[in-house]
Amino acid sequence: MILVKSALTLTTLLLLVIVINYFSFEQCGRSHLIDVDSDIKPGTYVLVPGAGRDYPNGRRPNYFFLGRMSKTAELHKSQPQLKIILSGIADGHHYNEAIDMRKDLLLRGVDSTVMVLDNGSADTYETIRMYDEHYKHNPVIIISQKEHLFRALWLAEKTGLKAEGIIADGNPYGTPRWFIVREMLARMKARYDILMQ
pLDDT in tens, 146-175: 999 999 999 999 999 999 999 999 988 888
Residue among 104, 114, 130, 107 at smallest CA distance from 49: 130
d(CA 13, CA 18): 9
DSSP state for residue 62 in the 8-state scheme: -
- % residues pLDDT > 90 (the chain): 57
pLDDT band at 139 (very low <50, low <70, confident <90, very high): very high
Q: Provide the pLDDT for residue 25.
A: 87
With vertex at residue 123, the alpha carbon angle to CA 120 and CA 127, rounded to the nearest 5 degrees, is 60
**Alpha helices by DSSP H, 31-123:** 63-78, 97-107
Whether 95 and 53 have beta carbons less than 8 Å apart is answered as yes
Task: Give the pLDDT score at 95.
Answer: 78
How many helices and strands in the chain, by DSSP H and E?
6, 5
Cα–Cα distance for residue pair 61/99, rounded to 1 Å:
18
What DSSP character marks residue 113?
G
| pTM, 2 dp | 0.89
**Domains of the chain: residue spans and CATH:** 2-196 (3.40.50.620)
Strands (E), the chain: 45-49, 83-87, 115-118, 140-144, 163-167
CB 132, CB 161: distance < 8 Å: yes
For residue 59, pLDDT beyond 80: no
- The Cα 86–Cα 98 span in angstroms is 5
- Most confident stretch, 3-17, 45-59, 119-133: 119-133
